[in-house]
Structure 1
Amino acid sequence: MDTPRTGTLGSTPSRPPASNLGQSGFSILEVLIAIIILSIGMLGAVGMQAAAMQANKETRNQAAAATLGRELAEKMRGNHTVAIKTTAADNPYLFDSTLTGTSTIATPSVNCFTAGCPTPKDAASWDVADWKGRVLNALPTPRAKVCFDKDPFDSAGKPRWACTGDGDVTVLKVSWTRSNTAGTLEFAADVTGTGVPVVVIPLTAGSSE
């Protein structure tokens, strides 16, 4: 005798309740964790971009300082009879200036554009004033020093502002307001601070012959 069948003919087998099926998709906790991880990654990318922009800015400033240093060296070689003198009273190319505005640049007594330069010293004064103006436009609050120096670096190889005051070669030392490798802001205008020259360039004026 056949076993009686339940249900209607052709009906599909009944399915278990939905509560017994495996759940799919993401929970709120998983979504929150993903958002946190994504946020950390984005913050890291922003930080790297900011560091790269700062590094590019410092590279441009260093390149500008090096270019200006070469220009000053050319001016000194073109006026070497003045540039080889060892005192600032006789040699306007020897100076130590922190440039915070146009008022810090001394105006030469003679305008070489309109009156010409009667003496080589007048030409040197004009060269220095013109050079300082371009340095001020190129670098943020720069400090520039030119002196005779046989030893511009200390025993650890770190550049320093102090000069020996003797030797046969003048040295240009330049710095500006910048963030150092520790992330601390160094102000070139603070001559008593711990900041050091960023660029040190020897300037050969030539000989008196």
Structure 2
Amino acid sequence: MLNKHKNHLFVYGQAGVSMIEVLVSIIILSIGLLGLAGLQTASLTQNHSANFRSTATVMAYSILDSMRANRIEAGAGSYNHAFGGSTPASDTLSGQDVGNWLNELALRLPEGSGSINVDANNRVTVLIQWGDSRGAAAAQQFAMTTRL
């Protein structure tokens, strides 16, 4: 742009971009990309934890369906199992159901284990726990209570 002032000719404007402006824009872009990578990592971690919770829910419904199909043994407490207890004998249907269920928990969930408790009123409490080292806490637990 040209401007005449007292018979002098002045040139205003910029001929190019300075190196400092380029460096500042690269730093701003880098910070934004690092933030985006952090969000992606957190998203993957939470998605993995949610998948484990969904699996625990499906597994709880699975054993409850088996118990409802065999109400007499379930009401008698044949499905009761404590955390860390020995694998039930497979000579009964309830023992086979609980043994298969525990094996599936161990296969589908990291450090997966479960417990089942049927009280005198036929109220069933199913607890499932697993190790979730990628999530917010090291150990997670899912509980479901229902009536047969």
Provide the TM-score with structure 1 as the length reference. 0.57
1:153-173 Cα deviation digits (max 9, x unpaired): xxxxxxxxxxxx665301111
2:31 to 26, 40, 64: 40
Q: Which runs of 5+ in 1 are unaligned?
A: 1-15, 99-103, 111-121, 149-164, 189-196
3-state SS in 1 of match to 2:83: strand
Q: Could you say which residue in structure 2 is the equivalent of 1:160? A: none
In 2, distance between residues paired with 1:168 and 1:177? 30
1:97-149 Cα deviation digits (max 9, x unpaired): 35xxxxx8737353xxxxxxxxxxx111111111111111111112322124x
In 2, distance between residues paired with 1:70 and 1:59? 17
1:60-119 Cα deviation digits (max 9, x unpaired): 212211111111011111111111124xxxx2x211235xxxxx8737353xxxxxxxxx
* Higher relative strand content: 2
Q: Could you say which residue in structure 1 is the equivalent of 2:83? A: 97
Q: Which runs of 5+ in 2 are unaligned?
A: 1-8
CA RMSD of aligned residues (A): 2.7
1:72 to 56, 63, 67: 63
Q: 1:180: how far off?
A: 8.6
In 2, distance between residues paired with 1:174 and 1:124? 18
1:174 to 128, 133, 140: 128
1:139 aligns with 2:134: no
Q: Verify the 8 A CA contact 1:105 1:132 in the aligned structure 2.
A: no
Bigger radius of gyration among the two = 1
- Measured at CA, do residues 39 and 105 of structure 1 come closer, stay the same or move farther in structure 2, by a change above 3 Å? farther
In 2, distance between residues paired with 1:24 and 1:179? 56
In 2, distance between residues paired with 1:32 and 1:96? 62
Q: Verify the 8 A CA contact 2:88 2:98 in the aligned structure 1.
A: no
Q: Count residues with an aligned counterpart.
A: 139
Provide the TM-score with structure 2 as the length reference. 0.77
Q: Verify the 8 A CA contact 1:177 1:186 in the aligned structure 2.
A: yes
Identity level (%): 24
